[in-house]
Structure 1
Amino acid sequence: MHTMTRILCASALALCSSLALAGTADRQARQQWHQAIGEGYQALAVASGQLQSAADDYCTTANDSNRTTLNKAWQRAFLAWQQVRFVDFGPVEQNNLSWQFQFWPDPKNLIAKKANALMGMEQPVTTEQVAQSGVAVQGFPMLEYLLYDTRHLNSDHALPASGACNLLQAVSQHLRSNSETLAANWRSFESRYLDTDAYRDATIRAGMGALEILEERRLAQPMGLRGNGKRNAYITDAWRSGQSMKAVEATVTGLKQRFLPGLTTLLTAEEHAALAGRIQKQFDEVLENFPVADLPMTTAIQQDDQFRVIQSLYVDVSQLATMVNNEAAVALGVVRGFNSSDGD
Structure 2
Amino acid sequence: MNKGFQLKLAGLLLMTALLAFTCGKEGNDDGDNPGSTDAFKSAMLVNYADNLIVPAYTDLNNKLGALNSSVNAFLAAPSELTLAATREPFKAAYLSFQGVSVLYFGPASAQLLNNYINTFPTVPTRIEKGIETGTYNFNIPQNSDSIQGFPALDYLLYAPDAVNKFSGANAAKRKKYVQDVLGRMKTLVENTLSQWNGPYHHTFSASLKTDVGSSIGSLVNQFAYEMDALKGPRIGWPFGKQSNGIVFADKCEGYYSGISAELAIANLSSLKNYYTGASGDGIADYLVLLKKQDLNNAVLAQFDVALAALNAIPKPLSAAFVNNPALVEDAYKQVQKLLTLIKTDLASATAVQITYQDNDGD
User: Where on the TM-score scale, by shorter chain, does this alignment land: which range?
Assistant: 0.7 to 0.9
Please list, as runs of the form range in 1=range in 2, the aligned pairs for 1:211-226 lying within 5 A after superposition.
211-226=227-242
- The Cα of 1:118 is off from its aligned counterpart by 3.2
- Verify: 1:29 aligned to 2:39, yes or no: no
What is the aligned partner in structure 1 of residue 339 from structure 2? 321
What is the aligned partner in structure 2 of residue 335 from structure 1? 353
What is the aligned partner in structure 1 of residue 202 from structure 2? 191
Residues 1:135 and 1:212: Cα distance change in structure 2 (over 3 Å): closer
- The Cα of 1:56 is off from its aligned counterpart by 1.1
**Can you give the 5+ residue segments of structure 2 that lack an aligned partner in the other structure?**
1-29
Distance in 1, matches of 2:80 and 2:162, equals 18
Distance in 1, matches of 2:33 and 2:98, equals 37
- Verify: 1:300 aligned to 2:320, yes or no: yes
8 Å contact kept, 2:120–2:251: no
Question: Number of residues paired by the alignment?
Answer: 318
Q: Name which of structure 1's ranges 237-246 and 192-201 shifts more when overlaid on structure 2.
A: 237-246
- The Cα of 1:50 is off from its aligned counterpart by 0.6
- The Cα of 1:52 is off from its aligned counterpart by 0.5
Name segments (4+ residues, structure 1) moved above 4 Å: 15-18, 128-133, 151-160, 339-342
Q: Name which of structure 1's ranges 194-203 and 26-35 shifts more when overlaid on structure 2.
A: 26-35
Aligned letter for 1:192?
T
- The Cα of 1:183 is off from its aligned counterpart by 1.4
Distance in 1, matches of 2:330 and 2:358, equals 29
8 Å contact kept, 1:54–1:73: yes
Q: 1:269 aligns with which of 266, 278, 289?
A: 289
What is the aligned partner in structure 2 of residue 248 from structure 1? 264
What is the aligned partner in structure 2 of residue 166 from structure 1? 176
- The Cα of 1:159 is off from its aligned counterpart by 10
Q: Is the partner of 1:225 in helix, strand or coil?
A: coil
Please list, as runs of the form range in 1=range in 2, the aligned pairs for 1:203-242 lying within 5 A after superposition.
203-242=219-258
Residues 1:294 and 1:24: Cα distance change in structure 2 (over 3 Å): farther
**Can you give the 5+ residue segments of structure 1 that lack an aligned partner in the other structure?**
1-14
Residues 1:192 and 1:279: Cα distance change in structure 2 (over 3 Å): same
Aligned letter for 2:287?
L
Percent of residue pairs bearing the same amino acid type: 19
What is the aligned partner in structure 2 of residue 288 from structure 1? 308
What is the aligned partner in structure 1 of residue 95 from structure 2? 79
8 Å contact kept, 1:236–1:244: yes
Distance in 1, matches of 2:169 and 2:328, equals 33
User: RMSD of the TM alignment (CA)?
Assistant: 3.0
- Verify: 1:115 aligned to 2:127, yes or no: yes
What is the aligned partner in structure 1 of residue 62 from structure 2? 46
Q: Name which of structure 1's ranges 48-57 and 319-328 shifts more when overlaid on structure 2.
A: 319-328
Residues 1:66 and 1:340: Cα distance change in structure 2 (over 3 Å): farther
8 Å contact kept, 1:292–1:309: yes
Residues 1:150 and 1:336: Cα distance change in structure 2 (over 3 Å): same
8 Å contact kept, 1:87–1:207: no
- Verify: 1:104 aligned to 2:120, yes or no: yes
- The Cα of 1:76 is off from its aligned counterpart by 1.2
Q: 1:136 aligns with which of 132, 146, 150?
A: 146
CA offset digits 1:189-213 (Å, max 9, x no partner): 1111111232211111111111122
8 Å contact kept, 2:80–2:163: no
Residues 1:158 and 1:281: Cα distance change in structure 2 (over 3 Å): farther
- The Cα of 1:86 is off from its aligned counterpart by 1.7
What is the aligned partner in structure 1 of residue 188 from structure 2? 178
Q: Is the partner of 1:259 in helix, strand or coil?
A: helix
